[in-house]
Every structure is written in C-alpha cells, then in structure tokens.
Amino acid sequence: MDSQTTVDERKKLITAARLFYQRGWMVGTAGNLSARQADGSFWITASGKAKGELTTRDFVRVHGDGKVEAPYPNLKPSAETSIHQAIYSLFPEAMACYHVHSIEANLVSMFAKSEDTLHLPPLEMLKGLGIWQENPCCQMALFNNHLDVTKIASKIEVRFRNHPPKIPALLIRNHGVTVWGASPETALNYIELAEYIFRYMVAAHQMGENFR
Ligand SMILES: [Zn+2]
C-alpha cells in the first residue's frame, strides 16, 4: 500500500465532507465519499460517522474483490458502498465518487417528467459537467430509492451498461445525488455544479417554472 497517497486522499475526502456538511448536504452521518487508488481499491467513509468531524480513522478500504479492510476497530463500510462499487466498475476513469443528501436534490426529484429521467434547464453551468452545446437539452438519470441499496446499485449498473449517461451524475429519488470524476477535486466540483443546478430549479419552480 502506498500509505502516503492514501492518507492524502482521505484528507481530501475529509475536507470535502466538512464543506458539504457546512452547506447542509451531509447533515449528521448522511452521504458518503470515496476515492479510488491505483490498485483498484477505494477508501470510503465508514458507516455512521458524523460528516462534519471525520478523521483519517473514519474510513475503510474496499478491495476489487469486495473484501473490506478496516484499519481501525469498529468500522463498517457505508451502507451505500455498493453504489460506489457499481460506479467504479462502470467507469474505469472514475477515481472519486461523492454522494450527498441535500434538500434541493430531493425536491427536484419531484419535478421529473418520467420515472427515470430529470430534465435539466439549459444553464451555462452544464459546461462544467461536459455538455458543450448551445441551449442544451440535457437529462440526469433518475433511480427509485430502495431500502436495499444493492437493488439501486444493480439498477444503475444495468442501465448505464446499456445506456451510458452523458453527464457524470445520477439522482436517487427523495434521497440524493451521486457524482464521479477523475479525481477528488473533480468530484467536488461536480457536486457543487449539480447542487447549483438543483438550487436554480427549485428557485425557478417557486417563480412558476413547471419542469414536469
Ligand atoms: Zn445516500
């Protein structure tokens, strides 16, 4: 294990979690962040840890074969680890996967026109998510929430294998958003962009815009 690299990446996850906590996107123990290592394993926030107060002792390492390595006692992987595993399996370029629970992400999931798609407004900010079109018609994949998170993960895997998404983000209805990127910094940027778009949509809806 390259301990220097892994410690640094856990610190990036801690910094991001504190920022998201302060913004109300990772209240209490909600949400989970992970960063993939060169060997294919990834560090992920352990279950039940306060996201505003993480330390490097609050992570577990999940290996490619699914084996969980807990460097400190009493650590369990996040309940939503299967979603991170699905994302890393689908997207070889993804080196970080961030998932937060914001109020706006939940509200916009009610604006969806169909069961499985959320239409996004044609905002300039979509360029940050890789959409370089004038007046783009862009969608975010939407999945129903299930108590059994592995069910959500397998639906993500099946759908994206057949229909790769145009943007590196997905929404789980009444639950939260997940993004992935080539680095922890990129994933942080994507979360900020997604949340900006959601806040815009909620504000526009309050002004009478009907996204349905
Ligand atoms: Zn969640």
**Interval between CA 83 and ligand 1 midpoint (Å):** 9
Structure confidence at residue 79 (pLDDT): 83
Please report, for the domain that includes residue 56, its CATH number.
3.40.225.10
Above 50 in pLDDT, residue 1?
Answer: no
DSSP letter at 73? T
**Interval between CA 135 and ligand 1 midpoint (Å):** 31
Residue 147, classified by CB atoms within 10 Å of its CB into exposed (0-12), middle (13-18) or buried (19+), is exposed
**Local confidence band at 7 (pLDDT 50, 70, 90 cut-offs):** low
pLDDT > 70 in the chain, percent: 96
**Distance set, CA 108 to CA 76, 105, 171, 191, 196 (Å):** 31, 5, 9, 15, 12
**Interval between CA 78 and ligand 1 midpoint (Å):** 9
Which element (helix H / strand E) includes 188?
Answer: helix 184-206
Asked if residue 94 is part of any domain, the answer here is yes
**Interval between CA 180 and ligand 1 midpoint (Å):** 14
**Interval between CA 211 and ligand 1 midpoint (Å):** 24
Asked if residue 113 is part of any domain, the answer here is yes
Structure confidence at residue 130 (pLDDT): 92
Q: Up-side HSE of residue 141: CA atoms within 13 Å toward CB?
A: 20
Instruction: Read off the pLDDT of each residue in 7-14 and give the average, rounded to a whole number.
Output: 88
By the 8 A CB rule, do 5 and 37 touch? yes
Domain residues for the domain of 198 are 3-206
Indicate the number of domains in the chain: 1
**Interval between CA 173 and ligand 1 midpoint (Å):** 10
Asked if residue 192 is part of any domain, the answer here is yes
Structure confidence at residue 78 (pLDDT): 86
**Interval between CA 57 and ligand 1 midpoint (Å):** 21
Asked if residue 125 is part of any domain, the answer here is yes
Above 90 in pLDDT, residue 204?
Answer: yes
Asked if residue 211 is part of any domain, the answer here is no
Above 70 in pLDDT, residue 38?
Answer: yes
By the 8 A CB rule, do 212 and 113 touch? yes
**Distance set, CA 19 to CA 22, 90, 99, 166 (Å):** 5, 27, 13, 27
**Interval between CA 32 and ligand 1 midpoint (Å):** 7
- pTM for this prediction: 0.94
**Interval between CA 204 and ligand 1 midpoint (Å):** 25
152-175 pLDDT, tens digit each: 999 999 999 999 999 999 999 999
Residue 192, classified by CB atoms within 10 Å of its CB into exposed (0-12), middle (13-18) or buried (19+), is middle
Asked if residue 19 is part of any domain, the answer here is yes
Asked if residue 212 is part of any domain, the answer here is no
**Interval between CA 42 and ligand 1 midpoint (Å):** 18
Above 90 in pLDDT, residue 135?
Answer: no
Structure confidence at residue 210 (pLDDT): 75
